[in-house]
Amino acid sequence: MNTKIWLSSPHMGGEELTFVNEAFAANWIAPLGPNVDGFEAELSNVTGVKHVAALSSGTSALHLALILAGVGREDEVICQSMTFSASANPIMYVGALPVFVDSEKDTWNMDPDLLEEVIIDRIKKGKKPKAIIVVHLYGMPAKMEEIVAIARKYEITLIEDAAEALGSSYKGTACGAFGDYGILSFNGNKIITTSGGGALISNDEAAVRQARFLATQARDNAPHYQHSHVGYNYRMSNICAGIGRGQLKVLHERVEQRRSNKSFYTQTLGQLPGIKFLEEVPGSFSNFWLTTLVIDPAISKGVTRENIRLALEADNIESRPLWKPMHLQPVFAGAPAYVNGVSEELFNTGLCLPSGSNLMRADLERVAKIIRNLFD
């Protein structure tokens, strides 16, 4: 059997252990501590967002963002349908109703025109949505100028799910820095990892202070355990933050490596009939967390996404269909959805190729050869 090629696996930079060893030497294992403070300050530098709370996951960051936005039972939250389920699940945690919005064809992210139609329709039906969750899927910046303008016009809190987009930007502004709140993920498959973790970022100092408070069991200021709010155990540990500090030192390299994977694939496969890669639009800079393509069987002489995926699998290579939209997921069957067919078509015809920053040239060539062979 050929060696396994993963879709996106952890890639240590070398300095992680230095930070972790420091934590061990000081017995600063848990919780919080100097690595957490350092990681938060460094993330603030990288994103240009003033305040950062390091948390146990991107999902917990989204949960806290919804709480800070005042979302509660019976409220409605607009959410991009083309995403990973973790974008939408926290809407259910707070007892609100997700309202799904389809994508546009340039970035595969939330369609701004449709977003405005949805807001108008929800208001007409009797309820103004409390928040909007926009996602920079696969690291590709969404159309933020339009989306920010709409959120401001209707005075709706904007939450940016930048879990897949650390290192991506639009016209020089980092993904995650446009909204009222941004969230990041350092899960094992993301562009950098803390083995598991996330962050909430915002320029609103009081909001981030409140997030830290809620994330540490909402302990009131008293010598005994005293609580006036429901709290959560959502903070990042000092050990995980140490891994994150080491990873941040190589973030720039990781972005370049993933972008170079994407260039390799477009150069070697871009001319095949019916294959189209997701590309940047003017002004946008993608970390190309994953290289993604769609294939049109009418032009590809019958080669389908599944033909490619199964041929790769037979050679011990992991690839994955594009994320199944939330409005097609059984768990969200009851939620309102405003669709235009774009995300469903992406799901039916799209594939994520192995995209790890630790892939070797020979790995990429192995992937490309198998795909090219299907067209011979």
Ligand X SMILES: *Cc1c(COP(=O)(O)O)cnc(C)c1O
Nearer to ligand X by Cβ, of 197 and 246: the residue is: 197
Nearest distance, CB of residue 220 and ligand X, angstroms = 28
Region of 203 on the Ramachandran plot (φ > 0 left; ψ -120 to 50 alpha; else beta): alpha
Three-state DSSP at 141 gives coil
Q: Is 163 in the site for ligand X (CB under 6 A)?
A: yes
Among the listed residues 10, 141, 198, 246, the single contact to ligand X using CB under 6 A: 198
Distance, in Å, from the CA atom of 103 to the CA atom of 142, rounded to the nearest integer, reads 10
Nearest distance, CB of residue 198 and ligand X, angstroms = 4
The contact pattern for ligand X, residues 30-59, with x = CB under 6 A and - = no contact, is ---------------------------xxx
Spatial neighbors of 369 by CB under 8 A, at least 6 apart, are none
Please identify the residue of the shown chain whose CB is closest to the bound ligand X. 58
Three-state DSSP at 134 gives strand
Question: How many residues sit in the footprint of ligand X (CB under 6 A)?
Answer: 14
Among the listed residues 81, 103, 157, 185, the single contact to ligand X using CB under 6 A: 185
Spatial neighbors of 315 by CB under 8 A, at least 6 apart, are 2, 366, 370
> How many Å is the Cα radius of gyration of the chain?
21
Among the listed residues 76, 102, 161, 344, the single contact to ligand X using CB under 6 A: 161
Nearest distance, CB of residue 62 and ligand X, angstroms = 7
Q: Is 164 in the site for ligand X (CB under 6 A)?
A: yes
Question: Nearest-CA neighbor of 101 among 71, 59, 146, 67?
Answer: 146
**Residue 336 · residue 99 · CB < 8 Å:** yes
Q: How many residues does the chain have?
A: 376
Distance, in Å, from the CA atom of 91 to the CA atom of 140, rounded to the nearest integer, reads 23
For residue 123 the two structure tokens come to 């208001």
Three-state DSSP at 54 gives strand
Question: Nearest-CA neighbor of 241 among 295, 192, 203, 276?
Answer: 192
Nearer to ligand X by Cβ, of 132 and 269: the residue is: 132
Cα separations (Å) of 164 from 10, 222, 344, 363, 372? 14, 39, 20, 23, 28
Q: Is 160 in the site for ligand X (CB under 6 A)?
A: no
**Judged by CB under 6 A, which stretch of 111-119, 158-166, 336-344, 346-354 contacts ligand X?**
158-166
Question: Which residues are part of the catalytic machinery?
Answer: 190
Question: Nearest-CA neighbor of 199 among 145, 164, 163, 224?
Answer: 163
* Phi, psi angles (nearest 5°) of residue 340: -130, 5
The contact pattern for ligand X, residues 255-284, with x = CB under 6 A and - = no contact, is ------------------------------
The contact pattern for ligand X, residues 228-257, with x = CB under 6 A and - = no contact, is ------------------------------
Nearest distance, CB of residue 163 and ligand X, angstroms = 3
Distance, in Å, from the CA atom of 135 to the CA atom of 132, rounded to the nearest integer, reads 10
**Residue ranges in 287-326 that form contacts with ligand X under rule CB under 6 A:** none
Nearer to ligand X by Cβ, of 195 and 260: the residue is: 195
Find residue 198's DSSP bridge partners: 55, 185
Nearest distance, CB of residue 169 and ligand X, angstroms = 17
Distance, in Å, from the CA atom of 237 to the CA atom of 81, rounded to the nearest integer, reads 32
Nearer to ligand X by Cβ, of 241 and 371: the residue is: 241
Nearer to ligand X by Cβ, of 148 and 192: the residue is: 192
**Residue ranges in 59-118 that form contacts with ligand X under rule CB under 6 A:** 59, 83-84, 86-87
Nearer to ligand X by Cβ, of 86 and 115: the residue is: 86
Among the listed residues 8, 81, 187, 292, the single contact to ligand X using CB under 6 A: 187
Nearer to ligand X by Cβ, of 151 and 175: the residue is: 175
Nearest distance, CB of residue 11 and ligand X, angstroms = 16
> By the criterion CB under 6 A, which residues form the site for ligand X?
57-59, 83-84, 86-87, 135, 161, 163-164, 185, 187, 198
